Amino acid sequence: MKRFKKQKREKFAWILTKSLAVAIALSCVFAVGFQTYMRETINSQMNSQADSEIAKLSAQISERTNYVESRLLMSDISNRLSLYTGYNVTIEQLPLFDPSCKHMVQIVPNYSKNCHAITAVADREGNIVASSRMNLQVFLMFDNDKEKDEYRGFYSCDIDTIKSPLMNELINEFHTTDLNVLTELRADTMYINKKDRTFIPHECQLLTSTYKKRGFFGDDSTFLLTTDDIEKEETKEFTIDINDLDVDSSDYELMTVHYGISSKNGNPRYSLLGFFGTDRDAFDSYADEFSNLSENWASYSYRGNNDGTATFGRNMSININGELYEICVRYVIDYMEPQLVRYYWTYTLLVAAILVLIAVLYAWRRNVSNKVKYAMEDFQRDLTNDLAHDIKTPLTAIGGYAENILDGGLSDDERERYLRSILDNVASTDAMVNRTLQLNTMDSSKLKREKISAEELVESAMKKYAIMLEEKNITFSIKGSAEVKCSRASLETIVENLVSNTVKYTSENGRINAELSRNRLVITNTVASKVDVKKLKQPFVRGDASRSNTQGSGLGLSLADRAAQLNGMKLTLACSDSEFRAELKF
C-alpha cells in the first residue's frame, strides 16, 4: 500500500519563478517569430519590386531607342538608370501605436545604411555599356518651346573627372541618412557640352536644412515638412575651374543658368541637380558579376551575404538596335539597418514587458488563490480538531451517566435524571455537529439574492428571546431601517447568530441597541468586562475563553462571519470595558 504523501504547498517565489520562465520562453518565441515575419515581409517586397523594376527598365529602354540618337543612347540610359533605379521597403507600426500609419519604417537605397539598388546593361562581350553608377546630373532647358529645344534633356557629370576631397564631402552630405536633414544643390554657372550631353558645375552652393525632430509615435497631423519646421539652414559655396581638370575644355561653354522649370529669368534653366545613382563602391563590388559572361546570368534570385545583407538579383535579355544585351538588377538590403533594429527591439521588448507583467499578475493571483485554498484547508482541519476536542465533554458525560445506570442501585428518579442528561448531551452534540457541517459546507451554497428588510429580521429574532430578556431585565431598542439585497437564508443566519450571541452575553439589567442605516447594521450590548475579540470569529472560540462553558458551541459568530463573506458583506467586532459592538457592512 502506498503511503499517503502530503502535498507540498506552493510558495509565491516558486510560482513567480515558473511564471517568469514561461514569459521569457514566450518572449523568445515571439522574438524569433517576429524576426521571421520582418524578414519575410522585407523579402516579399524586395522580390516584388525587383520583378517590377526589370520589366519596367526593359520597356523604358525599348522606348528610348525610338527617338534618342544612337551615339547618345547609352548615355541617356545611364542617366535614367541612375535617376530612377531604387526600391522602397516599408513596414508599418502596429495600429495600436500608430493608427494613422504616419511613422512607418521606410528603407530606401543610399539613404539607408548598406542598402543599394544597382542596375546595369552589358553587351554579350561583358562590357558594361550603361549603369546606375552614381554621377552628378541635371536637367537643362534652352528654349521655352519644347519642340524647338533640341538640346533639352538630362546632362551628366562624371564624378571621376573631379577627383577632390570636396566632391567626396559633397556626396556624403547630399546623401545624409538623417531623415531630419534635407540637402539641395544649386548652381549659378556651369560648363555645358551640348554635343555629348555632359556638364561640369562651376559656381555652386550646397543648401542644408535641418528640420525639427519628430517623436517615434508623434502626433503631427501631416508627414510634410514645411518651412515652419526648419531649425537651421546652412549654405556651402564651392567653385570648380575646368582648367584644373583633366578634360578637353574646347567643347564646353560656360553659361549662366537659372533654377526652376518655370523660371522667368531666362535660359538656360535647370532642375534636378544632384548626385543620383548607386554608391560607386557598392556598384563596383558587383561589376565583375555583370561582366563575367562565362557564368549563368540568372544564377540566383536571392543570396544571403556574410555581412548581414541580402541580394535580390534579376536578369533579362533585350534587343537594342539589333544587338543583344543583358539588363541586370541587384537589390541589396541590410537586415541590421538601424531603423529595422529599432523597430524590432521596440516591439520585442514591449511584448516581453507585457508578458512579464501578465506573469507577475498571474503569480500574484495564483498566490492569492492558494492562500484562500490553504486557509480553507487549515480552517477545515482546525474545525475538525476543535470539534473533536469540544465533543469530548458531552461524550464523557454520556459515558459516565451510562455507567451509573448499568451499575444499578439507582432510584427511579435518579435513573430518569441520568437518562435526561444523556438525551440533553446527545442533543447538544447533535446540534454542534450540525452547525459544524453548516459552517463547513456554506461555501458551496447557491445564493439567491433578493431584497430583504433587515429591520424585520432583527425584530423577529429578538422576539424569540423575549422571556430571557424579561428574566434578565434587559432593555432592547431598534432605530432606523435598511433594505439589503442578498440571500435571505444568509442574512437570517447572520442576524440570528448576532442576536443570540448578544442576548447570551449581555449582563443582567443591561441593554441591547440595534441601529440600521442604508449600508450597515450595528448591534451593541452591555457586558460585565472587556472581551478579546481577535479570535471570536474562529470556530469554537467563546467570549469567556472557557471550553467548559456549555452555554454555546462557539460557532455562532463563525457562521455569521462566513455568511457575511459569501454575500460580499463585512462583519467587524469590537469591545470595551462595558460595551460589545458588532457591525455588519453591506
- Answer whether residue 38 is part of any domain: no
Grid cell digits, residue 326: 543583358
Q: How many domains does the chain have?
A: 2
- Answer whether residue 480 is part of any domain: yes
Domain range for 238 is 135-218+226-276
Three-state SS sequence of 108-172:
CCCCCCCCEEEEEEEECCCCEEEECECEEEEEEECCCCCCCCCCCEEEEECHHHCCCHHHHHHHH
Q: What's the pTM? A: 0.65
Answer whether 207's CB lies under 8 Å from 183's CB.
Answer: yes
- Answer whether residue 18 is part of any domain: no
CATH number at residue 463: 3.30.565.10
User: Which among 276, 298, 318 is the end of a domain?
Assistant: 276
- Answer whether residue 360 is part of any domain: no
- Answer whether residue 247 is part of any domain: yes
- Chain centre to alpha carbon of residue 20: 16
- Answer whether residue 544 is part of any domain: yes
- Answer whether residue 456 is part of any domain: yes
Place of cell 498571474: 362
- Cα 83-47-123 angle, rounded to 5 deg: 55
Q: For the chain (length 586 residues), average pLDDT per consecutive 10?
A: 62 92 96 94 95 92 86 90 91 64 77 90 91 93 88 90 81 74 90 93 90 55 56 88 89 93 83 90 90 62 90 92 91 93 92 96 91 74 63 72 79 81 74 63 65 90 82 91 86 83 88 92 91 76 47 66 82 90 91
User: Which among 276, 309, 342 is the end of a domain?
Assistant: 276
Which pLDDT value is given to residue 4?
Answer: 46
- Answer whether residue 195 is part of any domain: yes
Which pLDDT value is given to residue 541?
Answer: 65
